[in-house]
Amino acid sequence: MTKTFGLIFLIILSSCGKIENSSSLDEILYGEFTDTGSPNFLTAKAAIKANCLQCHAVWKRYLEQDFIDAGLVVRGSPADSKLYYRNLLATEGPGPHNMPTSGYPPITSADLSAMHSWISAL
């Protein structure tokens, strides 16, 4: 009886192990993540993908509210939003905390305008 119990326990234990989390498995099963939100957000998100994901990959799956909750965006105030403000400075020259960091080209005026429009409309 003890050997049988031990064998069953060993089989159950051996089936335990690291499993894929839902985010990695979802992309495999269901394909690329699809953004949702207002048209202004979708335009801004395209700019974020083009300029920011090389360092801030987690933002790939961020929705509008995620940017707000993370303190990157302040509703209706681009000037108080880190996401906009730090990129704005990057178009005007070097300085502390400017994005994108050295080695990457500054964000384009059109992409910066998309961010401004989105944040202003929140």
Domain spans, the chain: 36-121
Closest Cα partner for 47 from 121, 109, 90?
Answer: 109
Q: Which residues contact 106 (CB under 8 A, 6 or more apart)?
A: 87, 90, 91, 100
Per-residue tokens: 17: 């192990």
Do residues 70 and 25 lie in contact, with contact meaning Cβ atoms separated by under 8 Å?
no
Per-residue tokens: 39: 């048209």
pTM, two decimal places: 0.69
Q: What is the CA radius of gyration of the chain?
A: 22
Instruction: Please report, for residues 29, 37, 56, 63, 94, the alpha-carbon distance to residue 59 in angstroms, rounded to integers and kept in the order given.
Output: 20, 14, 6, 8, 24
pLDDT in tens, the chain (122 residues): 566 655 555 455 444 444 444 445 545 554 566 788 899 999 999 999 999 998 899 999 999 999 999 999 999 999 999 999 888 877 666 555 678 877 888 889 999 999 999 999 99
Predicted confidence (pLDDT) per residue in 77-89, tens digit: 999 999 998 888 7
